[in-house]
């Protein structure tokens, strides 16, 4: 009936619990589910905007224009836990 504890993933359009999702800081409620984030990490953490790897303590961001994850410096909203 009510889906109060779930958010919609911007990449795969599935519903995920808030505790398993990451929310974009400046992206008006845009979220990435844990499965999409894990798949991105497994694929080598490549930025969709510039193609280089996101390493170490660099800020990770969701890039809505390209429907992907990458550097927050490349135009993405920094990801936080929802």
Looking at residues 36-63, what average pLDDT do you find?
93
- DSSP 8-class letter at 51: -
Please write the tens of the pLDDT for every residue from 7-46. 999 999 999 998 889 998 875 788 999 999 999 999 999 9
Instruction: Name the pLDDT band for 2 (thresholds 50, 70, 90).
Output: low
The answer on pLDDT for 1 being more than 90 is: no
pLDDT of residue 31: 92
- Cβ–Cβ under 8 Å, residues 76 and 70: yes
pLDDT of residue 82: 57
- Cβ–Cβ under 8 Å, residues 8 and 15: yes
Distance, CA of 44 to CA of 40 (rounded, Å): 7
């Amino acid at each position: 009936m009510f889906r109060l504890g779930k958010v919609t993933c911007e990449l795969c359009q599935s519903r995920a619990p808030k505790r398993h999702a990451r929310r974009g800081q400046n992206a008006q409620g845009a979220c990435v589910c844990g499965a999409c984030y894990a798949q991105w990490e497994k694929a080598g953490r490549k930025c969709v905007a510039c193609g280089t790897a996101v390493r170490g303590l660099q800020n990770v961001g969701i890039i809505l224009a390209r429907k992907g994850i990458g550097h927050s410096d490349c135009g993405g909203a920094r990801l936080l836990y929802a």
